[in-house]
Amino acid sequence: MIYLKIKNLIYFFLLVILPIDWFAPTGNLFRELGAKPAVFVLFCLMPFFIMRVIYHKNIKVPSWLVMNIFLMLLLGVASFFMSYLVKDVGEGYFKPPLMQFIFQLGMFGSFYLLLLLLIDFFHRNNEDFKIVLRMFPMAAFFHFSIFLLESQGLLDDSSGWLLNFRVDGGLIERPTGLFSEPSYYGFFAAIYGAPLLLMKPFRKWYFRVLGVTLIVSAVMINAKSIFPVLFFQLLYLAITSNGSRVSFYKIFIYSGLSFAVFIYFLSQNTVSVYENMSVAYRLGANLLAFNAAIDNYFLGVGFGQFHYYFLYQYAPDFLLISQEVQPMFSPDSLTRASTFNVYLRYLVELGLGGVVLFILILYSAAKISWKSKSHIAQLSGFGVFGCIGFMFTQDSYFYPQLLFYLAILFGLIQMKKNGT
């Protein structure tokens, strides 16, 4: 009984920290490795998962996935040496190319090593899936409670413990709870809100209300990132529809909600590159990355090397309008240049082969989710499709949410293969 309570608390804690994007004590000390607290926690737990594998004397993971990861590593390393040794890029930069390569290779490798370890863990601990489903709405309510208290002025982000969740102590004018900015709150709201609104295990009226409230609250703080997440979750809902009346109603309601969100953002000029500098920066960085990829013949430039290709010669004109982006063109920049799009980062750093291999992993997981009838597969399907949408706006190699849901789905298929 005590053991079960401890496991409940562990999964509640994990589901709470998974979407959090910044925690100052670990972020300031370990930078990208510690920025997302879930990344730091999972990294620290890696020895535990490795010891489990040693204890069982084998690891149950899909062999094709291992080969896929190996090929991506090979592409990233080979393209780096081609770029670094042949083109001699990054000379005079504050961040040395070799150090960037080593650190980003470490982030990439840690993500995929943990993915393999967690697949094996979930394959051997499938009873934990019930705990995940039970703790999921509690974690969502916990996050919304913090957001609500802040929005009502009962929690102050200018001082106290909430300041730990603001990047470098920076303040924003809108409530975001335990997230550093509205975009991350929007991602959380859709990832947690959609299952609560649409899944059978959460059919109680208060779960439905919480799901709608999460999505509406994200729209009210102008969290634009919620739109691509909603769009891909709607796509997942359409794919998994069995043609029943209930499925039709779910698609109708969710598509109506998604359309209303899109119209609202259009009315606020949040998708114009000339009216919104944040949009100009992000879309401009997307185009810059694509132009750099073309200039390198889609062969890739190596892990962490996009930073040295963030150059005026690749930039579209409207990107230069944003003052926020100007420091990124300087070799003295302390911040890693971002593509604001994971798929473009794979394309520019690992080449065309790298992005195809990455999409193959996502497709394989998605296929498992829409073919399986289990509730945990459906929850993970909403999670993976939501991450697919969100990754059009972010470019880290290590996404805790994606890691968690991919591990569950591949763990499910491994259970089926081994008859467990």
For the stretch 368-416, pLDDT in tens is: 998 888 999 999 999 999 999 999 999 999 999 999 999 999 999 887 7
The pair of structure tokens assigned to 401 is: 């949410």
What's residue 266's pLDDT?
47
Confidence of residue 247 (pLDDT cuts 50, 70, 90): low
Q: What is the secondary structure of 107-159 as a DSSP string? A: HHHHHHHHHHHHHHHHHH-TTHHHHHHHHHHHHHHHHHHHHHHHHTTSS-TTS
Confidence of residue 346 (pLDDT cuts 50, 70, 90): very high
Contact 277, 323 (CB under 8 A): yes
- Rounded-to-integer distance, Cα 286 and Cα 392, Å: 9
Residue in this structure with the two tokens 């930039």, named with its chain if needed: 315
The pair of structure tokens assigned to 198 is: 């649409």
Q: Fill in the amino acid letter for 385.
A: F
- Rounded-to-integer distance, Cα 237 and Cα 239, Å: 6
For the cut 70, the answer to whether the pLDDT of residue 269 exceeds it is: no
For the stretch 50-101, pLDDT in tens is: 999 999 888 989 999 999 999 999 999 999 988 877 776 767 787 888 899 9
- Rounded-to-integer distance, Cα 118 and Cα 353, Å: 25
Q: How many helices and strands in the chain, by DSSP H and E? A: 15, 0
- Rounded-to-integer distance, Cα 303 and Cα 348, Å: 9
Confidence of residue 354 (pLDDT cuts 50, 70, 90): very high
- CA R_g for the chain: 21
Question: Which one is predicted more confidently, 267 or 55?
Answer: 55
What's residue 275's pLDDT?
45
The pair of structure tokens assigned to 182 is: 């509205």
- Rounded-to-integer distance, Cα 133 and Cα 382, Å: 13
Q: Fill in the amino acid letter for 100.
A: Q
For the stretch 182-224, pLDDT in tens is: 999 999 999 999 999 989 999 999 999 999 999 999 989 988 8
- Rounded-to-integer distance, Cα 56 and Cα 135, Å: 28
What's residue 273's pLDDT?
47
For the stretch 288-345, pLDDT in tens is: 999 999 999 899 999 999 999 998 899 888 887 777 778 888 888 878 888 999 999 9
Question: Which one is predicted more confidently, 240 or 179?
Answer: 179
Task: Please give the mean pLDDT across all residues of the chain.
Answer: 87
The pair of structure tokens assigned to 223 is: 């969290």
Confidence of residue 255 (pLDDT cuts 50, 70, 90): low
Residue 203: which residues within 8 A CB-CB, separation 6 or more?
A: none
DSSP label of 374: S
Contact 99, 336 (CB under 8 A): no
**Residue 27, burial from CB neighbour count under 10 angstroms (0-12, 13-18, 19+):** buried
Burial 396-410 (b: 16+ CB within 10 A, else e): bbbbbbbbbbbbbbb
Q: Which residue, 400, 414, 418, is CA-closest to 364? A: 414
Of the chain, the end-to-end C-alpha distance in Å amounts to: 24
Q: Which residue, 195, 198, 189, is CA-closest to 253? A: 198
